[in-house]
Amino acid sequence: MEKLSSLRNMIVHRHRDIDDRVIYDNAKKGGIEAVKKFIKEIREYVTKNK
């Protein structure tokens, strides 16, 4: 999640300077998997704590 947070900050604060290839490369390096894992963990938590 730390890498994802870093990517988010870069997009928000430096969007004019970002090369689309950087975003794509970061997503391939695990950004998408980190989001999927986060969603899974949140779902499990919510289900467990209803």
pLDDT in tens, 21-31: 877 887 777 77
Predicted pLDDT at 3: 66
Predicted pLDDT at 48: 94
- Of 33, 23, 46, the C-alpha closest to 1 is 33
Range of the domain at 26: 2-48
Q: Could you give the CA distance from residue 11 to residue 20 in angstroms, rounded to a whole number?
A: 10
Does the pLDDT of residue 5 top 80, yes or no? no
Per-residue DSSP letter, 15: G
Residue 14 in tokens = 């430096």
Of the two residues 38 and 1, the one the predictor is more confident about is: 38
Predicted pLDDT at 46: 94
Structural domain count of the chain: 1
